[in-house]
Structure 1
Amino acid sequence: MGLSKPAAGPLLEIDRLSVDIRGEHGVARVVDEVSFAVGPRETVALVGESGSGKSVTSMSVLGLLPPRITRTRGSVRFEGRELLGLRSGELDRVRGDDIAMIFQEPMTSLNPAFTIGEQIAEQVRCHRGVSRKAARDRAVEVLDLVGVPSAAERLKAYPHEFSGGMRQRVMMAMALSCEPKLLIADEPTTALDVTIQALVLSELRALQERFGMSVLFITHDLGVVAEIADRVVVMYGGHLVETGRTAEVFAAPQHPYTEALLRSVPQGDTTGSRLWSIPGAIPTPEAMPDGCRFHPRCPHAKPGVCDADEPPLEPIGDGRSSRCVRREELRLSGIGGDAGGTGALAAEPLGGSVLPGGDRK
């Protein structure tokens, strides 16, 4: 789990963020009126399948979307300062310093023509204005901090000389080199095997505690969410469908898409059994259905209700919200967590058979 949230205002506030992208089929809205916040020393997981708009949302925070084909509206405030509309030079002072980002595939993020040491030291010199020696010393320090063995010798190595897990550690070292207040991690463990994934997550939690960072963790893996996040923000089809504290969302989801994501997580010993998956796929931005965007894939959808008007994201108490017109009449299944509220995945499978119309017994 992330660190507990102290009583303070949000560090990052995203308010009614919308992103339009111009493509071969015209202009499509890929992020639609998204609003959420990340508090000091808090870990928030942005969750959803590929194509839900998670990465576009995160890249909008740092102005990383190509301006020629994108139009961004709304507000992104960091420590009360508006980031949308800042010039490139002003954003450059924020990127890598106050806000750092770890990408999913480090091999495409690291420059193959420069050594690891050169790339980390360049960032330190850019934001801290220190000497080459001081920047090199800092590079050794952060590489050692994230568990790269023989850090001083590995400074001279190039990205292709590292394994996938070690490259991800290098990306973590680079992100932490200037001790950011907010770390955005975009699917940083997806390409790693489960053993290395667990090590990276454990190190990330320890580093968060050491530096007092907030973390915005983008993922489709609810097992990772249970391990690291204080709160969950669930996206589908470009907008939010549910938000809440991790343990509460896992124990009692308030949107059928969240329930479906939880049901897709293998529970206990699944040897010899068929794993469950959500039927169909997220619709493209150009072909969003009327009404609830999830209703064509939803086992609880009711004709004439779910395919009529698009439901709003409504607060449902205790910091939770849901975008489901049938929420109050459904009994959705979750995954148990412990009394301490860790949201840990339980061994029991999701229970209950589906009645006609989508309700559970």
Structure 2
Amino acid sequence: MDEIEESEWYLLQNYRERILPLRGILLNLDFTSIEKYDEGTLELFIRGGKKKIKFNEESEKQFKSIIQTDIISKLMMLVEDAVIFMESRRRNVSFYSIVTNSDIDVGLVIKEFFENLEKLSTNELWEIMSYVDVNSTNWETSEDARLVEKYLTINISEMRRLLSELKEFSTTNHPLFKRFKHAGFPVFPAVNSPKSLDFMKNFDHCSAVLMKENILDDVVYVPYSDDVIKSYHIIASGLQKIIHDIVNNRIITIERQTSGMLPNVSHDSEKLSVEEWNRYGEIRKKFYEQNPLRNDLPRTLNLPKPDKENMKWYCGLDDFLTRSIQFKESQNKEMYRLNASTDY
């Protein structure tokens, strides 16, 4: 295993085992916050103590709007991950070489990927998923080759459908994501939904995203409702599945030194008969027996030692906390002095 391949393997392993599940946990925290609030069980730490939260109607809408914004932003970051992984497979390079290349505008890569999505060929999607080349692989029978191609084609068709949905989600929500991650956050949360417009009648309220220098020139609305939140659950699940498959499939090809792999997941198993499903399982088992795990897989990653110069904030944390405590004590004494001398 050469250095580039080893680096890619470590990074993909880290993403599959740690980063992707942790991104999912962060999303679930947002979903859970809304659920717990609706149940009346949401608690937050306020002034050193845990308290149940209950807002008035207007503040409740604002609270749910900002949680919605955070959910969208986390989903958009997953979309970016998915596109970078797909584009790296399409270009046959490590995803890390894309995100670290100062000459590559990652935002532009993502924009152009979705703009050209309909032009993406079946062969390119095959490469993105790291699927085996059916025509260049020796199968026991032509029927086995036909079955493998059928199985993989079903997955590719479902992948194309999911990507089309992700494109619509990403395009619609990009203005809010763009404003959320930039300074000032020019967004009005919890604007009343104009029920007079037929397409808005099923939404509770909206966030108004300002896009131009004149704040009334171009406003994008992001509506909120229980069904909207349910749709985010579906998008989150689909996104994580797509990313996991792309990353996991590439890991398999590295670990087995193959140009392609056979997945154990069907995205539409109803299109296969029980006999076909069982036979595919036998074909897959034999394929991996013929392509065993390589014996030179690395075991540990020896990261360099920390550089104190890059950790000034953390290395000076004790002094910062001491100064903060002293400042707070000084403020408390001053407030006590002012209250004691106030003439009522």
The structure with more strand, counted as a fraction of residues? 1
Bigger Rg, structure 1 or 2: 2
Q: TM-score range by the shorter chain?
A: under 0.3
TM-score normalised over the length of structure 1: 0.22
